[in-house]
Amino acid sequence: MALGDHAFVRRAPVAPRPPPRGVVGPLAWLRNNLFSSPANTATTILIALFLAWTVPPLIRWLFIDAAWTGDDRSVCLDGGACWAFIGAKINLILYGQYPPDERWRIVLVAALFVAGLVPLAIPRVPGKRWNVVYLLVVFPVIAFMLLTGIGIGLDKVPTDRWGGLFVTLVAAVMGIVISLPLGILLALGRRSKLPVVRWLSTAFIEFWRGVPLVAVLFMASVMLPIFLPPGVTFDKLLRAMLCIAIFYSAYMAEVVRGGLQAVPKGQYEGSMALGLSWFQQMRLVVMPQALTVVIPGIVNTFIALFKDTSLIMVIGLFDLLGMLKSATNDSDWASPSVPATAYVFAGIIYWVFCFGLSRYSVFIERRLSRGKLHR
Amino acid sequence: MTGTVTPELASASGPETAIEMKAVNKWYGAFHVLRDVDLRVRRGERIVICGPSGSGKSTLIRCVNALESHQSGTIVVDGILLSRNHARIDEIRRDVGMVFQQFNLFPHLTILENCTLAPIWVRKMPRAEAVAIAMRYLERVKIPEQANKYPGQLSGGQQQRVAIARALCMSPRIMLFDEPTSSLDPEMVKEVLDVMVGLAEDGMTMVVVTHEMGFARQVADRVIFMDEGQIIEQNAPGPFFDHPQHERTKLFLSHILR
């Protein structure tokens, strides 16, 4: 059979060449992303007009017309943000009614926490095991003794004097630290081969997912004392924090279960065939992969938890938002711009923490996906 | 309906027996996947199992290390009777290495960590010793330079060689291979088979499910043909390929040998 004209043998390789103009560079980016079609061009122009309409007044309210200093409402009648109010109430916003002379204890606890968290968050720093032991065992004990004054001879500060950002952070950290491990256990339980474990885990998860958090908080605050024997008290703040932690552990369990389902059966078999015990399989092979897959979901749950700590306001506890709200009732600061400033300020604080969490999760995701890009 | 039983297979297992299966039956739901399977593998013996898909050959070797449980019959591996006792199962798994069609490497661990995981956690070996052993086996499968990469960065053939090295790091007395080359690109089949041939030459007891008939001819002491959950025919590779006896075997070989 003659190949004739179809026969071909390459004699010289084709070298790669740079792309033509207009494929890369800022102009190409603009054209591709903002003006790629008439509809996109129209959308771009509309959004630009909307921003031109809203952003300048916002900046004027936030910065230009704002009152930065002052001792009472008289400085805040011009219609701009009343930052002077925030400045006057800053201790209340940060610490609540915690006795002013004892506030160093909160600052110290915060410093101890940051000292444990920062090295843990930076992957390069060695000694993660001791770091975790410090944060999960040593720190909570020290923090408890310092903050309550129980056991170390400091003045006792009952939790009804706790408040502000301090309470928000305590509730959020406690919620996060409890809900993740509890959620992992529940997720494993829900996939267990043992029927009793599976049913109990499923029932637990479905119960807590099925009731609103506000209802749970009311129940814990109003109904629990009725069932407890007389004389037995159970700190209200602790109750609220445990409610948040347990409530979110149910959500966390479902997030983690999603990750477990993403781990292929072969991973279980591969580790089983090597003789790893069930516990070792979970700890060394399955969980690291499952949790990596669901980092966005886990952080999403953390963020929701962080913001939902503001719901403890409904049972008379004063977290960041509750403290700001109650501070606006001060007649010395009665001005139309004060409540607006207070809520904007609360929003900024929540946003800073949540955005930080979000960025850190992106960083960790990138780091963990290293080397697995070709999968 | 029973599998081929030779007098030799019915004999009691001794120290020279690696695996002994007697009248093993297994069902997936109502589907009878293994039917009265009798099989005795001597120490140092190399056995190749072939057969059409769904014939139960993978299920059979997965029963040896209890990745699948059987419902009746007895399986004795390395002198240990396989039962539902977890301690016993783990004991068997420590001594039986397995290589899978899909490699099943741990993607979140480096190649070296894949190889040292089980020695460190299951055999309680000091890390330095486990690393030394892992490097020795990675050299043996000719990829020591990949030790610090992740599985996803390696080709299929390289991954499968790592999987073999990982199993060898546990110093197994028996190696099971479940279609080790079936999901590889054609260009990578040979590098994996070469490692397996080397292993066979060193006297490892091997049970290999594969359709690589060249490998079977070169290495196997015995070739077993399975269909519908039964052992249809078994023989030394020469007579097996050149003079198959059973009609089903002839048909199968006529399809895969061209």
CB B100 to CB A371 under 8 A?
Answer: no
Name all contacts of B13-18 with Cβ < 8 Å and 24+ positions apart.
B13/B40, B13/B76, B13/B79, B15/B43, B15/B79, B16/B42, B16/B43, B17/B41, B17/B42, B17/B43, B17/B76, B17/B79, B18/B42, B18/B43, B18/B44, B18/B45, B18/B77, B18/B78, B18/B173, B18/B174, B18/B205
Q: Where are the strands (E) in chain B, listed by range?
A: 17-28, 31-42, 46-50, 72-77, 80-81, 96-99, 174-178, 205-209, 222-227, 230-235
Q: Is residue A41 part of a domain?
A: no
**Chain B closest-CA separation from residue A193 CA (Å):** 14
Range of the domain at A260: 167-312
Contact present, A227 and A247 (Cβ < 8 Å): no
Q: Is residue A186 part of a domain?
A: yes
Read off the pLDDT of residues B66-117 as tens digits, 9 standing for 90 and up: 999 999 999 999 989 988 777 889 889 999 999 999 999 999 999 999 999 9
Contacts of A368 in chain B (CB under 8 A): 108
Q: Is residue A267 part of a domain?
A: yes
Using CB atoms, which residue from B90, B106, B118 is nearest to A267? B106
CB A374 to CB B166 under 8 A?
Answer: no
Q: What is the pLDDT of residue A372?
A: 55
**Chain A closest-CA separation from residue B108 CA (Å):** 7
Q: Is residue A112 part of a domain?
A: no
Ranges of chain A with pLDDT below 50 = 373-375
Of chain B residues 146-205, which have a CB less than 8 A from chain A? 149-150, 152-153, 166-167, 170
Q: Which amino acid is at A15?
A: A
Which chain A residue has its CA at the smallest distance from B61's CA? A273
Whether the per-residue pLDDT at B6 is higher than 60: the answer is no
- State whether residue B134 sits within 8 Å of chain A by CB: no
Contact present, B35 and B195 (Cβ < 8 Å): no
> Could you please report the per-residue DSSP string of A176-243?
HHHHHHHHHHHHHHHT-SSHHHHHHHHHHHHHHHHS-HHHHHHIIIIIHHHHSPTT----HHHHHHHH
Q: What is the pLDDT of residue B13?
A: 52
DSSP B167: H
Mean pLDDT of chain B: 91
Give the mutation candidate from A269, A271, A274 for the B interface (greatest B CB count, under 10 A).
Answer: A274
- The residue among B6 and A261 whose pLDDT is bigger is A261
Contact present, A64 and A80 (Cβ < 8 Å): yes
Q: What is the pLDDT of residue A338?
A: 92
Q: Is residue A254 part of a domain?
A: yes
Using CB atoms, which residue from A277, A284, A375 is nearest to B152? A375
Which chain B residue has its CA at the smallest distance from A277's CA? B90
Q: Number of folded domains in chain A?
A: 1
Whether the per-residue pLDDT at B125 is higher than 90: the answer is yes
Distance CA B228, CA B224 (A): 13
Q: Is residue A116 part of a domain?
A: no
Q: How big is the A-B interface in CB pairs under 8 Å?
A: 71
Q: Is residue A178 part of a domain?
A: yes
**Chain B closest-CA separation from residue A277 CA (Å):** 7
Residue A260: in which H helix or E strand, if any? helix A236-262
Q: What is the pLDDT of residue A221?
A: 85
Q: What is the pLDDT of residue A223?
A: 82
Which chain A residue has its CA at the smallest distance from B109's CA? A285
Q: What is the pLDDT of residue A1?
A: 52
Q: Is residue A217 part of a domain?
A: yes
Q: What is the pLDDT of residue B7?
A: 39
Of chain B residues 63-102, which have a CB less than 8 A from chain A? 65, 67, 90, 93-94, 96-98, 100, 102
Contact present, B93 and B49 (Cβ < 8 Å): no
Read off the pLDDT of residues A294-343 as tens digits, 9 standing for 90 and up: 999 999 999 999 999 999 999 889 999 999 999 999 988 988 889 999 99
CB B117 to CB A284 under 8 A?
Answer: yes
Q: Which amino acid is at B115?
A: C
Q: What is the CATH number of the domain that holds A236?
A: 1.10.3720.10
Mean pLDDT of chain A: 90
CB A275 to CB B93 under 8 A?
Answer: yes
Q: What is the pLDDT of residue B9?
A: 39
Q: What is the pLDDT of residue B5?
A: 40
Please compute the mean of the pLDDT values over residues B143-170 and round it to a whole number: 95
Contact present, A271 and A281 (Cβ < 8 Å): yes
The reply to whether ipTM tops 0.85 is yes
CB A373 to CB B152 under 8 A?
Answer: yes
How many Cβ atoms sit within 10 Å of the Cβ of residue B237?
Answer: 19
Whether the per-residue pLDDT at B11 is higher than 50: the answer is no
